[in-house]
Structure 1
């Protein structure tokens, strides 16, 4: 506010009380509306980073509107020299109706000719000084600042008094009770009739809560950005994984033109966390010689690294299977591939080749759970041939075994995440107990549905895949 010491132009007249009252009313209504929006936002989902950021923005807006309310209140009351020592009843009623908080804005004027200092009542409250006590002179003011902020205030005051520059800056003060308060100070020099600096006025705001609200907005904005980045990376991972894993859904019949073909269905079960995609995979395809490839596996890691390794393994697996390489030799080539790749990885795998003409199933495994064979209402675990984890050793020979399947048999391949639980062990016995369910099932899809119903709600520590192949009669 311009000082009464300006001699070269008349002091501006205060605005009409009715106009200021209308502005105060509108500001308070807006404050209530913004606060209501903030409460509704917080009630939706407090764990959502975007909801927290929106709530923080509403809180910051409320802080600004509280400051605006106090500015308008002081504008209505007039300059400090025109106010009475105590606030009138009408002002007190206005503050009570608005639920006013302690004043955060005060004003001061330092007269350089008379050494007289004038503080508003609000400024005493901001500095934590008793009303009526001597206000601080410009020489004494730096004594209540933190030492590191004293040069900043000195520079502001010097620039105002000597160079006639407006003041605009922040500093921290220490209250008598030891609390630290952040103030924002704006002001200008007051000139006499000869253009010399006669006084200096300033408006000081307590911006501590405002700055804390701004920091909260920044933190929640950064949290939202990180969450969006993670979600974007996960979305890209899912897209990459979709391009790597088989595109078929539901069920397959392979080979398509043979008696005794396989009715195949598969399903992926996420972990209890589900925040990152894992390296579990399955595959089934008809080979050029009329036989059928069945495979499942699990690579270490999660997210993009696991998906990249998955695409490499599946591409190599399909290429070697189409070329006619048998399961045992195929496992050896995959082991060499993972061991010598730019980003070495570990993994387990199970590869089967089924001949519908003879009913013969040849298979090999690399540190992976053996297939389960269900026949005539009972199930058993096939005895696995020797094989170690892929990528764990150099030039390892993988054994290959062979078993004959009969019409009506159900072959189940799965990754170990299906039976690895957070509460207790659940080994292959729980899977073998599904034999009656498989015996009643009309097709492979019903068998997979039975597995999902039994294990879908389990708190798995890892992702899991299950593939069921039923030999048609």
Structure 2
């Protein structure tokens, strides 16, 4: 019988052993470095992005292990068919299936099959049993993949197409494994197909790692998309809550004792995701003016929505003539009865221009700061607990007579990172010479932005400045 020849041209000679040894050394060095990266990743954060990074490290290690084993087989040549005891065979089955590579040849002229010892382990077959023929091989394959295997083998035998594909097998121990098969026809001297050889590799763990990476990446992308959507919706919602005026405002529009008002937000270091901070200035019936700032705990769409609800209720009750203390009491009841109870703080002021009288109340909030003649002080705060903290909470009310040229500063917590209460008040009062020298409320606001605008605060802060201009 004429000798068989491969369907491809004559193969190149295998690489020199020293070259392969050098590649193995490089691969193992890289694996050690990759393992160190994986340990660092596992010691990192437990969020979704951290899990994705660790999954990528695991996948890279699987591939490096695979490469190391393949290079070793290339250097050492094909292993002999082992004559193993049942115990040895059991141990082999629990070894590294990832890197195990087996080979087979099916002779079409004699209908004989030859398997390497590793192929028995991959397919979960007893090495003492005869190898399966091409007709019998599909009996090991998962029902959904049999047609794929049949098509690959048919194309190889009839059209001399190389085989390169994967299918799942059902082992006798119940395990489902994924096998990658590469092969080609071996031609007779007359050009007919004499046999088919193939190399089969168990890639189950590799594919599992790739699925983990893909699924984690998809989850990370969905999480980022949801976060971006929430950022945008929260920003749009809070933008809608902002007062319709921008820059500066004169209230009331006519008459003596008017207020020059300016307000703004100082963003958090976390970016565009806003919370429940608000500010407002609103002209009321009788030429009075409402001044308010407040904040709800937390951040995101739910909190921004809650702030919008509170501010809408506050505006409505203020327009109806409700005094500050009663207004805060009703706001607290409203917050306490919501589906998702929350806590909030607020200061609410009504200014009467005819007498320059400020009537105000606070709910667990920093008191307004009054700047006059180059100095500043915090107004003596009436009693008041956080909004939503206690059912049927009562709130005190205070009055302060203002003078022309006075500057009133209202602000939320969080203006300075990790500083609260007296520390923040002290920093603000230290700006008294500059604030008292401000010709307009807008100038005063610029002073605060210059002083605190670059601070990496944990949450968005609101400030409102009102200056008595006449």
The verdict on a shared fold, with TM-score over 0.5 as the criterion, is: yes
Q: CA RMSD in A?
A: 4.4
Give the equivalent residue in structure 1 for 2:218.
221
Could you tell me how far apart the structure 2 residues matched to 1:472 and 1:115 are? 105
Give the equivalent residue in structure 2 for 1:204.
200
Kept after mapping to 2: 8 A contact 1:422/1:461: no
Task: Give the Å deviation of 1:154.
Answer: 8.1
* TM-score computed with the length of structure 1 as normaliser: 0.64
Give the equivalent residue in structure 2 for 1:111.
107
SS in 2 for 1:302: coil
SS in 2 for 1:305: helix
SS in 1 for 2:285: coil
Measured at CA, do residues 157 and 353 of structure 1 come closer, stay the same or move farther in structure 2, by a change above 3 Å? farther
Task: Give the Å deviation of 1:411.
Answer: 0.1
Give the equivalent residue in structure 1 for 2:393.
396
SS in 2 for 1:387: coil
Aligned match for 2:281, one of 262, 275, 284 = 284
Aligned match for 2:260, one of 258, 263, 269 = 263
1:381 aligns to 2:381 (yes or no): no
Kept after mapping to 1: 8 A contact 2:366/2:413: yes
Give the equivalent residue in structure 1 for 2:120.
142
Measured against aligned partners, the alpha-carbon deviations of 1:291-312 in whole angstroms (never above 9, x if no partner) come to: 1000001111210121121111
Could you tell me how far apart the structure 2 residues matched to 1:312 and 1:157 are? 73
Task: Give the Å deviation of 1:439.
Answer: 2.1
Give the equivalent residue in structure 1 for 2:180.
184
SS in 1 for 2:385: coil
Give the equivalent residue in structure 1 for 2:43.
none
* TM-score computed with the length of structure 2 as normaliser: 0.65
Measured at CA, do residues 329 and 161 of structure 1 come closer, stay the same or move farther in structure 2, by a change above 3 Å? closer
Could you tell me how far apart the structure 2 residues matched to 1:224 and 1:143 are? 39
Could you tell me how far apart the structure 1 residues matched to 2:244 and 2:338 are? 26
Task: Give the Å deviation of 1:414.
Answer: 0.5
Task: Give the Å deviation of 1:357.
Answer: 1.4
Give the equivalent residue in structure 1 for 2:453.
456
Give the equivalent residue in structure 1 for 2:247.
250
SS in 1 for 2:287: coil
Give the equivalent residue in structure 2 for 1:314.
311
The unaligned stretches of length 5 or more in structure 2 are: 12-48, 68-98, 126-130, 141-145, 154-165, 172-176
Task: Give the Å deviation of 1:399.
Answer: 1.3
The unaligned stretches of length 5 or more in structure 1 are: 6-10, 18-48, 68-102, 119-134, 148-152, 174-180
Task: Give the Å deviation of 1:423.
Answer: 11
Kept after mapping to 2: 8 A contact 1:161/1:200: no
1:433 aligns to 2:430 (yes or no): yes
Measured against aligned partners, the alpha-carbon deviations of 1:7-47 in whole angstroms (never above 9, x if no partner) come to: xxxx9975899xxxxxxxxxxxxxxxxxxxxxxxxxxxxxx
SS in 2 for 1:457: coil
Measured against aligned partners, the alpha-carbon deviations of 1:44-71 in whole angstroms (never above 9, x if no partner) come to: xxxxx8xx99xx9xx99xx9xxx9xxxx
